[in-house]
Amino acid sequence: MKLLIVIVNYRTADLTIDALASVEPELASVAPARVIVVDNCSADGSADRIDAAITARGWGGWAMLLRAERNGGFAYGNNRGVERAFALWPKPAYVHLLNPDTVVRAGGLAALVKFMDGNPNIGIGGSRLEDPDGTPQASAFRFPGVLSELDHAVQLGVLTRVLSRWVSAAPITDQPCPTDWVAGASMIIRRQVLEAIGLLDERYFMYFEEVAFIRRALSAGWPCWYVPTSRVVHLVGQASGVTDPRQSRRRRPDYWFESRRRYLLTNLGPGRAAIADLAHLLGLVAWRARCLIEGKADNTPAHLLADSLRHSVFAKGFTS
């Protein structure tokens, strides 16, 4: 098998069915390929609706539904899908993790596979994610660190320019390029990477799991590249609701902070994680001060400063 696509659904049946519909015309260009949809115990009828759509639309030859025992998060769902597929079918050359809140543009899958076929030393590739009108989204990033945490919290243009080499989002480009990590919404993984480092870390419920995985791959000698010739519409935050730009003030769930804290401690170590947390907290204080002094509207999630302090290494300790 050339390509295995894994889509994890949790109470987003309509989005998942639309994603499958966008994948269907692309499969011939990457054949033989299969799709496995993992329903993370939605308990809202999603699994039945997706299963019915697969049957009614004649997708059963290439798509199947797996009902997970519980909602274990993004890493858990993808891992169950990969495990089941590897047990049922010949192991594919590539595994493609695809969010349910995506629509694959024409040629999107073929571009990813072609790039990976032509670059056998590259382990992971990520699509150009974009809005429905074609506006590109940030899809390639630098690993989180002290300076990126400070910049993200302060939201000050002059500081961003000074720290341009360390800010989280890398400049958007039309050419394939190496990058620290790519968004897990559309990410292709060479099978040999999985064989070398294993599956996603299920200790991350959601968020930062792809960053941690790609960092492990890089340490094992498998670099990550951004592949903008592969274009995928990403309806940001529609699957989880956490990063939906229409609800920018929505309070972030505890699992987002716990995933961030785990990543920092695991990859930066206790000392640098503490400095990164301190930089982030001071940056948030500076932002709040600017809002008060300049009369600016606060565009950050509700209670972000308090929640960041509550989940910081200073409050929770240095055990990941």
Q: Residues 231-264: pLDDT tens digits?
A: 999 998 666 556 556 566 889 999 999 999 999 9
Instruction: Give the least confident one: 35-49, 154-168, 254-268, 277-291.
Output: 154-168
115 shares its domain with 218 = yes
Residue range(s) defining the domain that contains residue 290: 145-171+248-320
312 half-sphere exposure, CB direction, 13 A CA radius:
22
pLDDT tens digits, 95-122: 999 999 999 999 999 999 999 999 999 9
- Closest of 114, 111, 233, 126 to residue 188, by C-alpha: 126
Instruction: Give the least confident one: 57-61, 79-83, 150-154.
Output: 150-154
35 shares its domain with 111 = yes
183 shares its domain with 49 = yes
**Which tokens sit at 24?**
């269907």
109 shares its domain with 180 = yes
**Residue 127, pLDDT score:** 98
> Helix, strand, or coil here: 308?
helix
**Which tokens sit at 160?**
């961003």
Instruction: Give the least confident one: 55-64, 149-158, 184-193.
Output: 149-158
**d(Cα 21, Cα 59) in Å, to the nearest integer?**
9
Query: Average pLDDT of 127-149?
Result: 96
Give me the chain's average pLDDT, please.
94
Name the burial class of residue 168, with classes exposed (0-12), middle (13-18) and buried (19+) by CB atoms within 10 angstroms of its CB.
Answer: middle
Q: Give the residue from 186, 211, 239 where a domain finishes.
A: 239
**d(Cα 252, Cα 237) in Å, to the nearest integer?**
12
Q: Give the residue from 217, 239, 261 where a domain finishes.
A: 239
Query: Average pLDDT of 197-207?
Result: 96
Query: Average pLDDT of 270-293?
Result: 95
pLDDT tens digits, 3-25: 999 999 999 999 999 999 999 99
Q: Give the residue from 239, 262, 295 where a domain finishes.
A: 239
**Residue 223, pLDDT score:** 98
**Residue 243, pLDDT score:** 57
Query: Average pLDDT of 84-99?
Result: 96
**Residue 242, pLDDT score:** 61
158 contacts 286 by C-beta, under 8 angstroms: no
According to DSSP, the residues that pair with 103 across neighbouring strands are 233
| Total structural domains within the chain | 2
218 shares its domain with 282 = no
Entry pTM: 0.93
User: In sequence order, what are the residues at sequence separation of 6 or more whose Cβ sits closer than 8 angstroms to the Cβ of residue 58?
Assistant: none
- Closest of 120, 119, 103 to residue 26, by C-alpha: 103
34 shares its domain with 114 = yes
Query: Average pLDDT of 193-209?
Result: 97
**d(Cα 2, Cα 95) in Å, to the nearest integer?**
9
**Which residue, chain included where needed, has tokens 């079918």?**
89
16 half-sphere exposure, CB direction, 13 A CA radius:
31
User: In sequence order, what are the residues at sequence separation of 6 or more whose Cβ sits closer than 8 angstroms to the Cβ of residue 146?
Assistant: 268, 272, 275, 276, 279
